Amino acid sequence: MKAAVIVFPGSNCDRDCKVAIERSTGAAVEMVWHAETELPKGLDLIVLPGGFSYGDYLRCGAMAALSPIMGEVKVAAGRGVATIGICNGFQVLCEAQMLPGALLRNEALKYVCKTVELEITNAQTRFTAGYAGRRQVAMTVGNGEGNFFTDPATLARLEGEGQVVFRYVDNPNGSTAAIAGIVNDAGNVLGLMPHPDRAFEAELGSADGAILFQSALASA
């Protein structure tokens, strides 16, 4: 199994993701700089990590979405390669129009950093199949602009098509319908604000994030 973690200027969870994937799955992980124009061959998973790409200037993820490597990420995702955007990576996926909606400033206008309980609202995706019937998991959030927003028509479609994958039990940032993570129409692109890369071993407080990475690669 082979994975790639995309590194943007200002990414600060790229190595966290690399270590989490390696320890959780045994997959080989390559770090790919944002200015590259090609991805490694034979990828089973692409991860856009958390952080503050381009210093969060303009809008979170807006500048990173225009990076040269994102053209190749879109092509790979279009072929069905599993792609995960975590926190800032979720923002990048939305700005790149690979996922619908937008991430706004938290409702309380404060940075939120804590462990959160998540409801698995769709256990049949390639990212959640490994949870084997579990309804709740624990991961960590750390964001100032994690307030997921979309219009009513798009929300109805996301809910109706089973594209809402994770929902906050106690909504920490005011997200529409307490949404914490969604997938695209094809089901191979996941965006989520909580960090599975900060919850992949029991010593970190939760190992639930490891199952997400394992599920994504098992589906390949």
Residues serving a catalytic function are 87, 195
- Asked whether the CA dihedral 92, 18, 10, 202 is positive or negative, the reply is positive
Q: Are 45 and 4 in contact (CB under 8 A)?
A: yes
- Assigned token pair, 193: 């604000």
Closest Cα partner for 60 from 33, 86, 39?
A: 86
Contact of 205 with 140, CB cutoff 8 Å: yes
93 contact partners, CB below 8 Å, separation of at least 6: 48, 61, 83, 85, 99, 189, 191
d(CA 100, CA 192): 12
Sign, Cα dihedral of 22, 25, 29, 31: negative
3-class state of residue 205 by DSSP: coil
Distance from C-alpha of 143 to C-alpha of 5, rounded to nearest angstrom:
20
Of 101, 196, 107, the closest CA to residue 144 belongs to: 107
